[in-house]
């Protein structure tokens, strides 16, 4: 079991900050780095007690994709603060034992990036081949150029945009304002690696790699096979040529060697589509890969049980997974999981989901606001900011990611303690009651449940790193698993239903004592702990009481 300090990426909890929405210090309605620094105590050892923060992009950006269109990878967006603010953030986070992970967007840049400005200017300048430029496949009868292949933008339409200056198309897997870099050009890699080294030198502890498995494309840019009907145009192709190329492994090794030059640094790759097998294949020591299979499940024991088994089978005992139930691209878990069933209580489900997140095998990634059970915020289409949401329609079905990016409510009152100005996007309607201050004062809140769970993890390392086994709870609506290390064992029971559930887990030996759970009071534990009856949506973490014999042995 990994217990040394440098294995924090395995034992710790990573908290995702969406900086625009976390805390605004200057009243412009947009969250910033000084605002984040001012709220570090919420995250530090006297608050939630997380181990690292991952910051969604904080670099200068025209903001077409809210920071995922980077105009300078080595600088701080003035909207977010200054260079000095960033260095202070790293210092102040480290002082509280919090590591800092940056979001590296290296598949593409903004079209406002000086590299792209140079590249688009001519076919034979120094940066001419830093992006993927191609001649038209042909011309239509009207003389208009046809794109080089059938590739699609994930955000809708063709992945190719015509650039009259060069008389060529350029490739963009996302928006036209996000041209894809040419990773096969060594100078591009060298420039990106030097940026990575620069951030490491500034004390950054790790990186999240945006859509890393799309860095390389088929060298001949062959069209993707078409599979026919699917609601989203993107799903009508098999994406064998625009991502997941075999020679990517070599480039990842190059990148990882740079990160590995420094002790205790890590990375986590954002898998751009693909299941747990693909995620496991790309995973290596100190380099995690998101597996989004849990995020895609309905709130049922059957669905989660199947997904957990598939992950465990894919990763096996030697590869370390991540646990992700939400992020800045998906519906929030209280809304997504909590409103599926009629009369379900989203807060109760949010607490049970917290137990799942914090006790499965893998590094938990907790998205800001989930710790207070934030809901998706309905943004009227007239206020939509997310670019694909603005162009969504029957021919391009798309969900609105604005809904999961609403400002963090810190306290009751106007601006919810997030800003003294007008928030860049709507606050949730319940911010007067659903905020950090109110929940900190309520021992039964979602926040206090998270705090208790994180404390239990810190006090019981087996919960973080122990071997994982799923066991039969004796009840189809209740999932059960154990985490074990030597004589130490934890037992987790999660009731997925709104009804009481009697459980008599098979194959475990107590006696058990409660470590943490969704409820402040414990279910009636018989002597020895089992069998017991869980209350609706109740989840408990039990620890095996070490007998005198076991302790002396």
Active site residues: 210, 261
Cβ closest to ligand NOJ, residue 203 vs residue 275? 275
Which DSSP symbol is given to 250?
A: H
Closest CA to 445 of 511, 351, 377, 352: 351
List Cα–Cα distances, 75 to 197, 472, 482, in angstroms. Answer: 13, 52, 45
The residue within the footprint of ligand NOJ, chosen from 8, 9, 68, 160 (CB under 6 A), is 68
Contacts of 414 (CB under 8 A, 6+ apart): none
Question: How long a stretch of residues is the chain?
Answer: 553
> Residue 387 Cβ, how far from ligand NOJ at the closest point, in Å?
9
> Residue 287 Cβ, how far from ligand NOJ at the closest point, in Å?
18
Q: Which residue has the tokens 């005198």?
A: 548
**Is residue 17 close enough to count as binding ligand NOJ by CB under 6 A?**
no
Cβ closest to ligand NOJ, residue 68 vs residue 410? 68
The residue within the footprint of ligand NOJ, chosen from 26, 329, 472, 477 (CB under 6 A), is 329
Closest CA to 419 of 127, 31, 63, 64: 31
Cβ closest to ligand NOJ, residue 86 vs residue 272? 272
Gyration radius of the chain over CA positions: 24
List Cα–Cα distances, 550 to 37, 110, 310, 333, in angstroms. Answer: 45, 60, 34, 40
> Residue 123 Cβ, how far from ligand NOJ at the closest point, in Å?
27
Strands 363-367, 322-324: parallel, antiparallel or unpaired by DSSP?
Answer: parallel
Strands 160-163, 168-171: parallel, antiparallel or unpaired by DSSP?
Answer: antiparallel
The residue within the footprint of ligand NOJ, chosen from 24, 51, 65, 244 (CB under 6 A), is 65
Q: What is the size of the binding site for ligand NOJ (CB under 6 A)? A: 9
Q: Enter the tokens of residue 279.
A: 């995620």
Closest CA to 103 of 66, 50, 130: 66
Cβ closest to ligand NOJ, residue 64 vs residue 323? 64
d(CA 65, CA 156): 14
d(CA 153, CA 108): 13
> Residue 328 Cβ, how far from ligand NOJ at the closest point, in Å?
6
Say if CB 446 and CB 332 are below 8 A apart: no
* DSSP symbols for 473-522: -SSTTEEEEEEEETTEEEEEEEE-SSS-EEE--SS----EEEEEESSSSP
Cβ-based neighbour number of residue 284 at 10 Å: 17
**Is residue 209 close enough to count as binding ligand NOJ by CB under 6 A?**
no
The residue within the footprint of ligand NOJ, chosen from 8, 116, 169, 174 (CB under 6 A), is 174
Cβ closest to ligand NOJ, residue 42 vs residue 328? 328
> Residue 198 Cβ, how far from ligand NOJ at the closest point, in Å?
21
**Is residue 210 close enough to count as binding ligand NOJ by CB under 6 A?**
yes
**Is residue 211 close enough to count as binding ligand NOJ by CB under 6 A?**
yes
- H or E stretch at 288: strand 287-289
Q: Which residue has the tokens 């799309």?
A: 214
> Residue 452 Cβ, how far from ligand NOJ at the closest point, in Å?
30
Four-CA torsion 316, 56, 52, 404, nearest 10 degrees: -80
> Residue 272 Cβ, how far from ligand NOJ at the closest point, in Å?
7
d(CA 300, CA 458): 28
> Residue 105 Cβ, how far from ligand NOJ at the closest point, in Å?
6
Q: Enter the tokens of residue 289.
A: 């890969």
Interaction pattern, residues 437-476, with ligand NOJ; x per rule: CB under 6 A? ----------------------------------------
Site residues for ligand NOJ, 76-105, by CB under 6 A, read 105
Phi/psi of residue 115, each to 5°?
Answer: -60, -45
Cβ closest to ligand NOJ, residue 211 vs residue 323? 211
Q: Which residue is nearest to ligand NOJ (CB)?
A: 68
**Is residue 282 close enough to count as binding ligand NOJ by CB under 6 A?**
no
Q: Which residues bind ligand NOJ (CB under 6 A)?
A: 65, 68, 105, 174, 210-211, 270, 328-329
């Amino acid at each position: 079991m990994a217990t040394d300090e440098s294995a924090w990426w395995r034992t710790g909890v990573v908290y995702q900050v969406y900086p625009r929405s976390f805390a605004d210090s200057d009243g412009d309605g947009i969250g910033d780095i000084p605002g984040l620094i001012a709220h570090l105590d919420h995250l530090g050892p006297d608050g939630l007690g997380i181990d690292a923060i991952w910051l969604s992009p904080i670099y200068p950006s025209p903001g077409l994709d809210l920071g995922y269109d980077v105009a300078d990878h080595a600088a701080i967006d003035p909207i977010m603060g200054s260079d000095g603010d960033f260095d202070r953030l790293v210092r102040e986070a480290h002082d509280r034992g919090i590591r800092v992970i940056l979001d590296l967007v290296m598949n593409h840049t903004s079209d406002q990036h000086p590299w792209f400005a140079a590249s688009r200017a001519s076919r034979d300048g120094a940066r001419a081949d830093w992006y993927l430029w191609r001649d038209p496949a042909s011309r239509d009868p009207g003389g208009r150029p046809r794109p080089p292949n059938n590739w699609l933008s994930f955000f809708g339409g063709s992945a190719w945009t015509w650039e009259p200056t060069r008389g060529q198309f350029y490739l963009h897997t996302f928006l036209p304002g996000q041209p894809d870099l040419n990773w096969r050009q060594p100078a591009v890699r060298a420039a990106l690696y030097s940026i990575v080294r620069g951030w490491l030198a500034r004390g950054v502890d790790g990186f999240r790699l945006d859509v890393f498995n799309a860095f390389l494309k088929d060298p001949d840019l062959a069209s993707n096979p078409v599979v026919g009907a699917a609601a989203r145009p993107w799903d009508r192709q098999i994406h064998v040529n625009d991502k997941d190329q075999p020679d990517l492994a070599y480039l990842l090794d190059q990148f990882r060697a740079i990160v590995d030059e420094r002790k205790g640094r890590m990375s986590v790759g954002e898998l751009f589509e693909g299941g747990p097998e693909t995620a496991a294949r790309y995973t290596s020591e100190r380099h995690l890969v998101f597996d989004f299979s849990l995020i895609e499940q309905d709130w049922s024991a059957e669905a989660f049980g199947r997904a957990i088994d598939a992950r465990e089978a894919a990763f096996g005992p030697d590869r370390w997974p991540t646990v992700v139930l939400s992020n800045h691209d998906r519906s929030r878990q209280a809304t997504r999981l909590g409103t599926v069933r009629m009369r379900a209580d989203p807060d109760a489900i949010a607490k049970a989901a917290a137990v799942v997140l914090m006790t499965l095998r893998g590094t938990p990634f907790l998205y800001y606001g989930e710790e207070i059970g934030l809901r998706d915020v309905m943004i009227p289409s007239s206020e939509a900011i997310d670019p694909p949401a603005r162009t969504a329609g029957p021919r391009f079905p798309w969900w609105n990611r604005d809904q999961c990016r609403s400002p963090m409510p810190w306290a009751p009152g106007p601006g919810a303690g997030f800003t003294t100005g007008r928030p860049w996007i709507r606050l949730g309607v319940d911010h007067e009651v659903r905020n950090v201050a109110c929940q900190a004062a309520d021992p039964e809140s979602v926040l206090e449940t998270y705090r208790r769970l994180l404390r239990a993890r810190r006090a019981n390392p087996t919960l973080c790193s122990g071997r994982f086994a799923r066991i039969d709870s004796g009840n189809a609506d209740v999932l059960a698993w154990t985490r074990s290390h030597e004589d130490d064992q934890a037992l987790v029971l999660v009731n997925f239903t709104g009804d009481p559930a009697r459980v008599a887990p098979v194959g475990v030996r107590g006696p058990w004592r409660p470590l943490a759970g969704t409820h402040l009071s414990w279910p009636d534990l018989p002597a020895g702990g089992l069998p017991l009856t869980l209350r609706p949506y109740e989840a408990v973490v039990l620890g095996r009481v070490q007998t005198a014999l076991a302790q002396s042995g």
